[in-house]
A and B are shown apart, each in its own frame.
Chain A
Amino acid sequence: MPKDSGIGASSKRREDVRFLTGAGNYTDDINVHGQAYVFFLRSDIAHGRLKSVDTSAAEGMPGVVKVFTGKDFEGVGGMPCGWEVTDKHGAPMQEPPHPILAQGKVRHVGDPIAAVVADSLEQARDAAEAIDVDIEELTAVIDMKAAAQDGSTLVHDDLKNNICYDWQLGETDDAKVDEVFANAAHVTTLDLVNNRLVANPMEPRVAVGEYKRGTDEYTLYTTSQNPHVIRLLMCAFVLGLPEHKVRVVAPDVGGGFGTKIFHYAEEAFCTFAAKACNRPVKWTSSRTEAFMSDAHGRDHVSKIELALDAENNFVGLRTNTYANLGAYLSTFSSSVPTWLHGTLMAGNYKTPVIQVNVKAMFTNTVPVDAYRGAGRPEATFQLERVVDKAARELGVDPIALRRQNFVTQFPYDTPVALTYDTGDYNGTMDKLEAAADLAGFAARRAQSEANGKLRGLGINCYIEACGIAPSNIVGMLGARAGLYDAATVRVNATGSISVMVGAHSHGQGHETAFPQVVADMIGIDESMVEIVHGDTSKIPFGMGTYGSRSLAVCGSAMVKATEKVIEKAKRIAAHLLEASEADIELKDGQFSVAGTDKSVAWGDVTLTAYVPHNYPLEVEPGLEETAFYDPANFTFPAGAYACEVEVDPETGQVSVEKFTAADDFGNIINPMIVDGQVHGGIGQGIGQALLENCAYDENGQLLSASYMDYAMPRADDVPFYGVDHSSQTPCTHNPLGVKGCGEAGAIGSPPAVVNAVLDALNSGGKAVDHIDMPVSPSRVWAAMNG
């Protein structure tokens, strides 16, 4: 029987009532009395030297408050990078400055050159048109491999080359890797591109900066996934402000997908300008601006080699990747192609020798950073495509080949630095085979063929590492932040509870799922528990939401804090019941003395905590506890996906006919929300696989700068999904036994789709090895006729 409340119940998302009835409070809904508006004049040239920026005409235009250029920010810091990667020779990565407004050079289309603050946005825009910018155009550095060559034009003149770092993970002895490949019975090689994506959350970025002269206090309202991190970075590294004088609020946020993790120049600008102009300053990104200023995702070019022995066991894996970082280091950009990517290259398999090589490149493009999955989709795509290709080359069943190589003993130490605590990859694959009705595929293929279509089946496995931690290890790997989280459980006198959490909810459903846990632990109604998030003035601390960490990390902090609350409440109850604390049991919101019918209700105990007349003297009044939680390890959700496509052989059009996901997320708090997370992730994965393509021309102009050319998945591009979450190996090291589920769909689906298309083409007699994403009709047609 499904539960109807608490842990395991598909409680309806309470936040949806306000979202769906227009009662949400997004950053753009916030207007502060007296606010002015900023318009950023952005470069339309990808690479150039700024000869002069003449703002004199603009300054005199109607409504103009102040015009800023790079010169105004010479006294403050630039945008920091939160992760220092050490290259394979032990040197720190090259870390060029990232000014708030361009200084000396512009480095990508969209790089802000000047900012006009005016009474209205249209006035700011009018004035921006009157700014005279003289730029000496330089050769744009776009192609990563060319950028890595000696003598390439430099994106940053002060660096020795365009390579941020040359990084390696796994086997360091090249000769040993060569030997594995030399002795292999079979080697499968694949060159592929992981296409650049633009996250495109429905809500564009917004920032409102406010400064109170009387108290010297700042408030920044911003579309962020992690307000505390923004406050820390902005105060400590950019503007040099005392943290206690700065409040950062991220109210309702309309989707993030990673791109709202990072600290952006516009946030620092609005905070700075609010004081400089002595007026609140608001910026709302247009969609066009979003395309050229939101951090992009993916953009890897890889060569991958898989060595197999005569029995088809994987014996070695070597990858060589160029990862695009764009023009500047965005907040977590450096960690994505390295610790979030190389570490995943073992996948679900017990390959003994693995070597991952990554060159991270500066180019004259928008900065690239984490996007749903962040590094893990890139790893999974390489691995699962090469495994699929190997199966085709060897003429073996792709599922059997995978099963044969699965890790089956846990804990398992991979050759690429992770320890998988638990999993059951064969069990999850069994679930997939049943849920996807793979036995019925042949009949479905025959039906498609009768309709003149080619049908293909693509299988994919994935493992992902969520809730990156623990802090001491990530610190050794270069992280400049801790990766714990915090929660305060504040019980009110009448027994209702506010939980202040460091995780930020921007679509994930925390406001529903988190209370389910607390309510379940105490045995009270979910409606008595509410989540408070997104405001540094209300929450103790928090690292925010990304990397599928919220429940596993922040939820664990919440459990710890709730345990402390319960422990204290039991002491109060023991006093009221004149019993020993050890004999007190809490069930269904009642404290009772074991083996007796004496009991006292939750609400009576909480009231006593605040009206401590009949009260244990040694216990402090009040009922509020905080816990910080630093996980011992990542969580390792894993799954197996099956995609069935139809290909129109005349046009190359691909349609996804059936998609089934079997995921092992450990214990599940709210199955409906988890299904929804997987649905959304698969939708994004299908978008990457078939539609989305952020493309630059050789001059660094963005070819897909609007929805006219950037294809987002629409409802009719995706099928109804089948999901099966009954394979459950609980996480061994967090109190809820939960794993992350937010990114799985986006990680697991792209290879399944591409594998399916290739299966379809090969079934139709077209020997096609690979098609780069997006697998658009024109690319499929070209591959079929190539």
Chain B
Amino acid sequence: MYSFEFEKPSTIADAVAALAAEDAQALGGGQTLIPTLKQRLASPSALVSLSGISEMQGVCVEDDGSVSVGGATTHATVASEAANTYPALAALAGQIGDPAVRNRGTIGGSVANNDPAACYPAGVLGSGATIRTNTREIAADDFFEGMFSTALDDGEIITSVRFPVPQAASYQKFLQPASRFALVGVFLARFADGVRVAVTGASEDGVFRWSEAEQALNTSFSPDALMGLHVNPMNMIADLHGSKDYRAHLVSVMTKRAVAACS
């Protein structure tokens, strides 16, 4: 990697200040960023670690019953601390990578990175969560803007993610055999006012909501309601691990399984 300065502030304000420097970059768990640096694909002037900021750590239940996850909370912490309050989210976090990755990688890093095959974007969009930053609140529906692209401005920090807790939810992840990211992952959440279905891994536009399926499930919440429904293969990713048609097919299968798991 190229050389860089390293800072580890203990407050959000100090982190924001440090990130104001030209080409400074936030460091979460480093599970994406460090490999990128090692390959010399990025050359930040400074890395500002967010792991020392206590107000960005941990899982708590807010007054309205929603579950709030600090932006620097590791996947392992979510897997254990959200197990009772939001089991489907905890299960999602528990399926990310391996123990080493889960004990370093953070929700803020995952959501900010918006890898098209990452798990959290599906959980966040499927839950209709709110992304809180040092300057504002962004609804999940407005946050994800396509592969590796989000509504975040330069230097903006995800301080927490607030999840409304659904009546039932399930994350169904079909593993890409090599990376074990999602070849297709479907996060389905059933709220009193409707069903949300978010799909990751599949689309060239990154995580997306499958609105036809949501409508069908709002009418009848059963796997059979999805009969004959398919996403358009045109926009799907095609690579070594699966064709467009295969991914489109998996979206249907994983959605049905999520419905079955919630029924």
Contact = CB atoms under 8 A, between A and B. Distances in A.
Nearest to A129: B40
Contacts of B249: 781
A202 interface: no
Contact of A776 (B39, B241, B253): B241
A173 interface: no
A709 B246 contact: no
Interface string A682-718: 0000000011010100000001100111111000000
A128 to B, nearest CB: 10
Interface in B172-190: 174, 177-179, 183
B218 to A, nearest CB: 24
A707 B241 contact: no
Nearest to B39: A288
Max chain A CB contacts within 10 Å: which of B174, B249, B253?
Answer: B249
Contact of A778 (B3, B39, B241, B253): B241
B250 A651 contact: yes
Nearest to A709: B178
Contacts of A650: 253
B246 A711 contact: no
Interface string B175-215: 00111000100000000000000000000000000000000
Contact of B243 (A708, A710, A778): A778
Contacts of A690: 177
B174 A651 contact: yes
A653 B243 CA distance: 15
A782 interface: yes
B246 A781 contact: yes
B242 interface: yes
Contacts of B1: 122
A379 B256 CA distance: 43
B240 interface: yes
B179 A709 contact: yes
A708 B246 contact: no
A463 B15 CA distance: 65
A777 B177 contact: yes
Contacts, number: 49
Interface residues of A, number: 26
Contacts of A711: 177-178
A448 to B, nearest CB: 18
B73 to A, nearest CB: 25
Nearest to A707: B178
A341 interface: no
Nearest to B257: A650
Interface in B231-255: 239-243, 246, 249-250, 253
Contacts of A652: 246
A709 B237 CA distance: 14
Nearest to A710: B178
Interface string B1-18: 101000000000000000
A691 B177 contact: yes
B29 to A, nearest CB: 17
Contacts of A776: 177, 241
Nearest to A780: B246
A125 interface: yes
Contact of A709 (B174, B240, B242, B243): B240
A129 B41 CA distance: 13
A652 B243 CA distance: 13
Interface residues of B, number: 18
Secondary structure at chain A's binding surface: helix, strand, loop or mixed? loop
A708 B177 contact: no
A781 B179 CA distance: 20
A690 B241 CA distance: 12
Contacts of B3: 122
Nearest to B40: A125
Contacts of B253: 650-651
A651 B184 CA distance: 11
A500 B235 CA distance: 63
Max chain B CB contacts within 10 Å: which of A288, A653, A708?
Answer: A708
A652 B179 CA distance: 18
Interface string B56-100: 000000000000000000000000000000000000000000000
A320 B217 CA distance: 55
B176 to A, nearest CB: 8
A703 B178 contact: no
B243 A782 contact: yes
Contacts of A710: 178
A70 to B, nearest CB: 24
Interface in B31-53: 39-40
A650 B252 CA distance: 10
Contacts of A703: 239-240
Max chain A CB contacts within 10 Å: which of B174, B177, B246?
Answer: B177
Interface string A585-623: 000000000000000000000000000000000000000
Interface string A701-744: 00110011111100000000000000000000000000000000
B61 to A, nearest CB: 34
A777 to B, nearest CB: 7
A18 to B, nearest CB: 24
B254 to A, nearest CB: 9
A256 B186 CA distance: 40
Contacts of B242: 777-778
B246 A782 contact: yes
B240 A704 contact: yes
Contacts of A708: 178-179
Contacts of A693: 240
B21 to A, nearest CB: 23
Interface in A625-656: 650-653
A652 B174 CA distance: 11
Contacts of A704: 178, 240
Contacts of B246: 652, 777-778, 781-782
A125 B2 CA distance: 10
B183 to A, nearest CB: 8
Contacts of A709: 178-179, 239-241
Nearest to A650: B253
Nearest to A126: B2
Interface in A369-422: none
Nearest to B253: A650
A711 to B, nearest CB: 4
A195 to B, nearest CB: 12
A463 B249 CA distance: 41
Nearest to A703: B240
A693 B178 CA distance: 10
Nearest to A695: B240
Contacts of A288: 39
B58 to A, nearest CB: 30
A661 to B, nearest CB: 24
Max chain A CB contacts within 10 Å: which of B178, B179, B243?
Answer: B178
A711 B183 CA distance: 13
Contacts of A122: 1, 3
Max chain B CB contacts within 10 Å: which of A653, A703, A777?
Answer: A777
B237 to A, nearest CB: 12
A652 B246 CA distance: 10
A650 B114 CA distance: 28
Contacts of A129: 40
Contacts of A125: 40
22 contacts: A650-B253, A651-B174, A651-B253, A691-B178, A703-B239, A703-B240, A704-B178, A707-B178, A708-B178, A709-B178, A709-B179, A709-B239, A711-B178, A712-B178, A774-B177, A776-B177, A776-B241, A777-B177, A777-B183, A778-B242, A778-B246, A781-B246
Given A703-B239, A709-B241, A711-B177, 12 more contacts: A122-B3, A650-B253, A651-B250, A651-B253, A652-B246, A653-B174, A691-B177, A693-B240, A709-B178, A777-B242, A778-B243, A778-B246
Interface of A: 122, 125, 129, 288, 650-653, 690-691, 693, 695, 703-704, 707-712, 774, 776-778, 781-782
Q: Which 7 A-B pairs have the closest CB atoms?
A: A711-B178, A778-B242, A711-B177, A778-B246, A708-B179, A650-B253, A709-B178
